[in-house]
């Protein structure tokens, strides 16, 4: 018979070492006696054990061991070793056999530990103590059933990484200083943890969120057993809440239906009708204080030009320069557009210019910001703004430059080169706009061959000229 003594608490390392040595010497579970008490000791009778090589186990078995060693049951190591032994001796898929008595028992231990961990995540309460150096320090006292203090640490560090906190329990303690986690010995219940007014506020919240018409303390206790109550300040209010509930419900049922003091339906309806922005300027202010739907842009770029313009030209989205200046069509493509308008005999100042998407989207490459086309989803995000904007401008003709603008205005993918020319766009409130689709000037900038570019540019100017005759 070999006796193995592991450290108090969840001695995962000790158990792992023991398993390696026992497996190396092919020691059967019946020949091992497990006991707990510091420090880890191996074997009294029989030859001293050599360090063993790592043992290869299915992942699920490894995970089960990690949890079950936290359990308070003194038999846990013996049970786990019986599992390991059977898995190593031909029953690789033992954990799938949920009906096997050993597996069933281990699953119950596993579940108990998981539940304990979950309840500690849930029911632990921090109290804020003033820190000598002016900041805040958070302290909690909790009494877990099992040896889970180290198992919960990752959760609290992850959630409260930016705070300084201490968790005290009878099974060990944790301290986090925003950089390092320190584990400490078991702690005593602190005499008094002073509370600030948030604790008072929380109590009020807890009382107020309770519905006396549905009182059901049994359901409450199933999820929040009494043993946890001592460390949860809000539970102090429970007895009074339950006691008062029937009378509160009775009062509600007996009360006469209330006679309304005020009833003005016109006001509600009127308020709703008035809520939309009432001018283009108001709409633009709203756009400018909204968040870009894709992060990065410096500012929103609103449209520009006279309300009531005969032609509104809709581009894709602001580019690098537009994003800096806050005005549409001021970059290279904008200059090309200005030149083309002039050639077509259209006064740029008399046209309303805007974009389907109001923010610049880009990827940073070194010092340069490389333009990224908006996705179809992003275009739809901006659609309500565009439609409302055009509703204020009320142009006779809307010109879409490129596929993005055409998508925004029709709600469907448009092949610009194949469908260029007049088209009816979805308008505001169901009336269609007279529309016209042509290429985006940046398309011209991207054409590699001089000859091709000149031809495309001439076609672009011809399109604009034709559009002007339709407006």
Which residues in 65-94 contact another protein (CB under 8 A)?
93
The four Cα atoms 265, 270, 271, 276 give a dihedral, to 10 degrees, of 150
Q: Tell me the C-alpha to C-alpha distance, in Å, between residue 318 and each of 23, 248, 324, 361.
A: 68, 60, 9, 8
Q: Phi and psi for 324 in degrees, rounded to 5?
A: -75, -40
Q: Which two tokens stand for residue 323?
A: 């994003």
Residues 6 or more apart in contact with residue 459 via CB below 8 angstroms: 439
> What 3-state class would DSSP assign to 68?
helix
Preceding peptide of 128 cis, ω within 30°: no
Closest CA to 395 of 320, 307, 316, 465: 307
User: Which residue, 124 or 403, is less far from another protein as judged by CB?
Assistant: 124
Task: Report the nearest approach of another protein to the CB of residue 166 (Å).
Answer: 13
341 is an interface residue for another protein by CB under 8 A: no
Q: Which stretch binds another protein (CB under 8 A): 36-44, 78-86, 181-189, 193-201?
A: 193-201
Of 109, 238, 351, 353, which lies in the binding site for another protein, with binding defined by CB under 8 A? 238
Task: Report the nearest approach of another protein to the CB of residue 383 (Å).
Answer: 8
56 is an interface residue for another protein by CB under 8 A: no
Closest CA to 149 of 291, 28, 8: 8
239 is an interface residue for another protein by CB under 8 A: yes
Task: Report the nearest approach of another protein to the CB of residue 258 (Å).
Answer: 4
Task: Report the nearest approach of another protein to the CB of residue 277 (Å).
Answer: 9
Closest CA to 9 of 148, 153, 150, 147: 147
Task: Report the nearest approach of another protein to the CB of residue 84 (Å).
Answer: 19
How do 136-141 and 127-130 pair as beta strands? antiparallel
Kindly determine how many residues on this chain lie close enough to bind another protein according to the rule CB under 8 A: 97
User: Which residue, 17 or 358, is less far from another protein as judged by CB?
Assistant: 358
Closest CA to 79 of 107, 40, 106, 110: 106
> What 3-state class would DSSP assign to 18?
helix
d(CA 312, CA 346): 12
Task: Report the nearest approach of another protein to the CB of residue 249 (Å).
Answer: 7
286 is an interface residue for another protein by CB under 8 A: yes
> What 3-state class would DSSP assign to 166?
strand
163 is an interface residue for another protein by CB under 8 A: yes
Q: Phi and psi for 62 in degrees, rounded to 5?
A: -55, -45
> What 3-state class would DSSP assign to 59?
helix
Footprint (CB under 8 A) of another protein, residues 372-411: 375-378, 380-381, 384-385
User: Which residue, 238 or 309, is less far from another protein as judged by CB?
Assistant: 238
Q: Tell me the C-alpha to C-alpha distance, in Å, between residue 347 and each of 311, 339, 441, 460.
A: 11, 10, 17, 16
Contact pattern from residue 105 through residue 124 relative to another protein, giving x for each residue in contact according to CB under 8 A and a dash for the rest: -------------x--xxxx
368 is an interface residue for another protein by CB under 8 A: no
456 is an interface residue for another protein by CB under 8 A: no
Of 48, 51, 188, 272, which lies in the binding site for another protein, with binding defined by CB under 8 A? 272
d(CA 187, CA 168): 6
Q: Which stretch binds another protein (CB under 8 A): 65-73, 74-82, 143-151, 273-281?
A: 273-281
User: Which residue, 17 or 127, is less far from another protein as judged by CB?
Assistant: 127
245 is an interface residue for another protein by CB under 8 A: yes
Q: DSSP letter string over 360-383?
A: --EEEETTEEEE-PPPHHHHHHTH
58 is an interface residue for another protein by CB under 8 A: no
Footprint (CB under 8 A) of another protein, residues 246-265: 246, 249, 251-253, 255, 257-258, 260-265
User: Which residue, 74 or 201, is less far from another protein as judged by CB?
Assistant: 201
d(CA 442, CA 160): 49
127 is an interface residue for another protein by CB under 8 A: yes
Closest CA to 408 of 354, 332, 327: 354
User: Which residue, 6 or 140, is less far from another protein as judged by CB?
Assistant: 140
Of 6, 113, 117, 293, which lies in the binding site for another protein, with binding defined by CB under 8 A? 293
Q: Which stretch binds another protein (CB under 8 A): 2-10, 96-104, 359-367, 433-441?
A: 96-104
Of 178, 368, 396, 446, which lies in the binding site for another protein, with binding defined by CB under 8 A? 178
d(CA 41, CA 24): 17
Q: Which stretch binds another protein (CB under 8 A): 58-66, 201-209, 306-314, 439-447?
A: 201-209
């Amino acid at each position: 018979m070999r006796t193995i003594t592991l450290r108090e608490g969840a001695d995962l390392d000790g158990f792992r070492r023991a398993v390696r040595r026992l497996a190396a010497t092919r020691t059967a579970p019946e020949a091992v006696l497990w006991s707990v008490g510091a420090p880890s000791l191996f074997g009294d009778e029989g030859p001293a054990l050599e360090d063993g090589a790592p043992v290869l186990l299915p992942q699920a078995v490894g995970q089960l061991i990690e949890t079950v060693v936290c359990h308070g049951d003194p038999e846990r190591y013996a049970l786990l070793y019986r599992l390991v032994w059977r898995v190593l001796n031909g029953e690789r898929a033992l954990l799938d056999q949920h009906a096997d008595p050993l597996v069933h028992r281990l699953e119950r231990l596993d579940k108990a530990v998981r539940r304990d961990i979950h309840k500690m995540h849930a029911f632990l309460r921090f109290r804020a103590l003033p820190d000598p150096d002016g900041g805040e320090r958070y302290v909690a006292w909790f009494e877990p059933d099992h040896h889970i203090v180290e198992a919960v640490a990752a959760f609290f560090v992850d959630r409260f990484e930016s705070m300084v906190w201490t968790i005290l329990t009878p099974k060990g303690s944790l301290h986090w200083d925003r950089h390092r986690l320190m584990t400490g010995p078991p702690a005593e219940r602190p005499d008094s943890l002073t509370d600030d007014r948030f604790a008072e506020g929380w109590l009020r919240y807890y009382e107020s969120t309770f519905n006396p018409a549905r009182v059901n303390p049994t359901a409450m206790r199933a999820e929040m057993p009494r043993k946890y109550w001592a460390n949860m300040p809000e539970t102090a209010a429970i007895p009074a809440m339950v006691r008062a509930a029937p009378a509160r419900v009775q009062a509600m049922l007996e009360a006469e239906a209330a006679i309304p003091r005020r009833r003005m339906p016109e006001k509600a309806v009127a308020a709703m009708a008035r809520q939309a922005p009432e001018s283009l300027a108001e709409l633009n202010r709203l756009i400018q204080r909204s968040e870009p739907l894709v992060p990065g842009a410096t500012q929103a770029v609103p449209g520009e030009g006279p309300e009531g313009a005969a032609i509104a030209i809709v581009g894709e989205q602001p580019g690098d320069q537009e994003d800096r200046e806050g005005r549409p069509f001021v970059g290279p493509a904008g200059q090309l557009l200005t030149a083309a308008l002039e050639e077509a005999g259209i006064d740029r100042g008399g046209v309303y210019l805007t974009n389907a998407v109001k923010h610049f989207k880009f990827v940073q490459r070194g010092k340069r910001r490389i333009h990224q086309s908006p996705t179809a989803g992003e275009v739809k995000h901006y659609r309500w703004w565009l439609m409302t904007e055009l509703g204020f401008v009320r142009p006779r003709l809307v010109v879409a430059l490129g596929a993005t603008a055409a998508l925004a205005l029709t709600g469907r993918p448009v092949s610009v080169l194949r469908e260029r020319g007049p088209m009816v766009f979805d308008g505001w409130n169901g009336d269609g706009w007279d529309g016209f689709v042509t290429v985006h000037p940046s398309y011209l900038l991207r054409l590699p061959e001089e000859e091709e570019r000149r031809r495309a540019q001439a076609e672009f100017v011809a399109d604009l000229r034709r559009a002007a005759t339709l407006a």
